[in-house]
Amino acid sequence: METIYIKSKSSIDKSKFTEKETCVLALGFFDGVHIGHQRILETAKRIAVQKQCAFGVMTFYPHPKDILFPHMEPMTYLTPLPLKEDRFEKLGVEKLFVVEFSPEFARLSPNDFIAQYIIGLGCIHVVAGFDYHYGYKGLGSMKTLSEYNPGSLEVTTVPKIQHEDEKISSTAIRKLLDEGHVQKIPMYLGDFYEINGEVNQSSLFYKKHQFLKLIVEKKYRMPKPGIYHIQVEIDGNNYDGTCHQISINEQHPSLLIQLKDCSVYPYKKRIKIKWLNYKYGKQNESYGMNEYMKKDELVI
């Protein structure tokens, strides 16, 4: 996959795109790359194969809310940009355009957005969800996109996808995380919610259990504080575990996790956490790291 980062203040040189470099573009922010997003991407990929051109995606960074509402809390992500890029590549995306969302970009008229960022990238067919909006104050819609210079740009609108009468969306998934309902997320996301992080404290062993502290990237959306059943992937192997403590500060979120029957020493390793089920509503202080360090049976 070729990833192209576009500064919103820079002009796009259309002349560098030859006939062979035309593309079908899927448009959206795609946080989570959930089931609804996947339907958009699958549709764009199928059309690209039919038209024998590149399968492309245009996304944006940072989230528009951080630019349009700077007084609000900074946005956290279901899929921070590196993870989102990885998901796109696995889904067969050939060209990924990451456009900087800036105040200048937010002021673009709908027609200027199409001319510069769609036609200007060699796009001949656009695919997006029914509620996609673009341009200044979101005045552009799928209807105005289809009306732009008819014949020069084809447009496919993907209808709403629902689960139990609720639209599958990034907002719905964030709400489930905020409420601790992680077991329901696969019906929206297609899999359990996952985060990546690095073990930054030496493992503590007690009988058949290993306890470790994980530092999580700051941009991840974290579940509601509580005790969770989790699955931990280390070096390609999966281990059953429990997350006992979620701490969020100004630096990075951190987790205190317990692994069962894991003899791997994961210090400084990058590991993956999948959130399977919410177990208890209150942080269990007895499982704090300091308590385990007091036990005679502890082996470091």
Three-state SS string across 258-271, please? EEECCCCCCCCCEE
The pLDDT of residue 257 is above 60: yes
CA–CA separation, 155 and 144 (whole Å): 10
Long-range own/partner contacts, residues 164-170 (CB < 8 A, 24 or more apart) = 167/36, 168/34, 168/35, 168/36, 169/34, 169/36, 170/29, 170/31, 170/32, 170/34, 170/78
- State pLDDT tens for residues 201-219: 766 666 678 888 999 988 9
* pLDDT-wise least confident of 6-15, 109-118, 199-208, 254-263: 6-15
Q: Which of 194, 171, 168 is nearest to 182 (CA)?
A: 194
CA–CA separation, 141 and 145 (whole Å): 6
Task: Give the pLDDT confidence score for residue 205 in this predicted structure.
Answer: 64
The pLDDT of residue 83 is above 90: yes
Task: Give the pLDDT confidence score for residue 201 in this predicted structure.
Answer: 75
Q: Which of 270, 203, 199, 201 is nearest to 234 (CA)?
A: 270
Q: Is the preceding peptide bond at 62 cis, omega within 30 degrees of 0?
A: yes
Q: What are phi and psi for residue 71, nearest 5 degrees?
A: -80, -15
More confident residue, 272 or 293: 272
Task: Give the pLDDT confidence score for residue 15 in this predicted structure.
Answer: 44
Across 153-176, average pLDDT = 95
Q: Which of 255, 275, 278, 280 is nearest to 186 (CA)?
A: 275
* pLDDT-wise least confident of 19-23, 33-37, 63-67: 19-23
pLDDT band at 190 (very low <50, low <70, confident <90, very high): very high
Task: Give the pLDDT confidence score for residue 17 in this predicted structure.
Answer: 45
- Scored b (16 or more CB within 10 A) or e, 170-185 reads bebbbebbeebebbbb
CA distances from 10 to 13, 117, 143 (A): 9, 11, 27
Task: Give the pLDDT confidence score for residue 206 in this predicted structure.
Answer: 64
Beta-bridged to residue 140, according to DSSP, are: 134
pLDDT band at 245 (very low <50, low <70, confident <90, very high): confident
**Nearest 10 degrees: CA dihedral of 169, 173, 174, 179?**
140
The pLDDT of residue 18 is above 70: no
The pLDDT of residue 244 is above 80: yes
Q: What is the DSSP letter of 217?
A: P
Query: What pTM was estimated for this model as a whole?
Result: 0.87
